[in-house]
Amino acid sequence: MSVAVIVALTLCSRANAQILERTTFGIQAGLTSSSASLKDLSTESVSKYHVGGFLQIPLAGGFSFQPGLLYQVKGASMDSFSDHSLESSFESLETEVGYLEVPLQIQWGPDLIAFRPYVFAEPFLGYAIAVKSEGQAKLSISSSNKSLKDSGLSRLEYGLGLGGGIELWRLQLSAKYFWNMGSLYSESQTAADATKGVTEAVKAAFKDKKSFNGIMFTLGFKF
């Protein structure tokens, strides 16, 4: 029995050592194009960016696990906004939120020696650390807010991304569509909690609506 245990432990340690040897660290950056679907409001996507690092851990059967850490900026641009319940009526509004995100990507793809195509699913969790909202009123008076405390934002976000990519040498190029599952604002907070003007208008626009969805294009480099 003791011999069998020793053999099993030896095999496990060798397998773990091989996985560690093949684990790579990388950096990544790219474009984030996001928007929000709001009722009775014309919206446009906002092109921002993301940057961070990742680990790629090989698994059996063509699978690999790629956790990462990103700084991700998402947002939405809103046109022709008008609500008589608000003190201000805006011709346009734009808001963007910076998140510190942890994506947990599960990849599958065959190693074709020269390159490796793959598909992936990626649940993610994020925490808002920056916000900027700007609006242009009908009287040509601009308004802005950069305070997370006054914004009434729900700090936590979570969602899922689905996509595909290709690895060539040390380069990794991927594209994915992501869905934010939570609401941008906390259900327990009302518009009165936020500052007046552009912050209140943005919050009213997102009331009972989901957060940002969009597309990400990412270029990574593995060391």
| Count of other CB atoms within 10 angstroms of residue 213 | 18
Please report the beta strands in the chain, taking only residues with DSSP state E, as ranges in sequence order: 24-35, 42-44, 46-58, 63-79, 90-108, 116-137, 142-145, 156-168, 171-180, 213-222
Q: How far apart are CA 156 and CA 177, in angstroms?
A: 20
- 123-176, pLDDT tens digit by residue? 999 999 998 877 766 555 555 667 777 677 788 999 999 999 999 999 999 999
Q: How far is CA 18 from the centre of its chain?
A: 32
Q: Which CATH number fits domain 23-222: 2.60.40, 2.40.128, 1.10.3470, 2.40.160?
A: 2.40.160
Q: How far apart are CA 74 and CA 161, in angstroms?
A: 14
Instruction: Give me the residue spans of the domains in the chain.
Output: 23-222
Q: Digits of tens for pLDDT over the chain (223 positions)?
A: 565 555 545 445 555 555 666 799 999 999 999 877 655 555 667 889 999 999 999 999 999 999 999 999 998 887 655 554 444 566 677 888 999 999 999 999 999 989 999 999 999 999 999 988 777 665 555 556 677 776 777 889 999 999 999 999 999 999 999 998 877 776 555 444 444 566 666 666 665 556 788 999 999 999 9
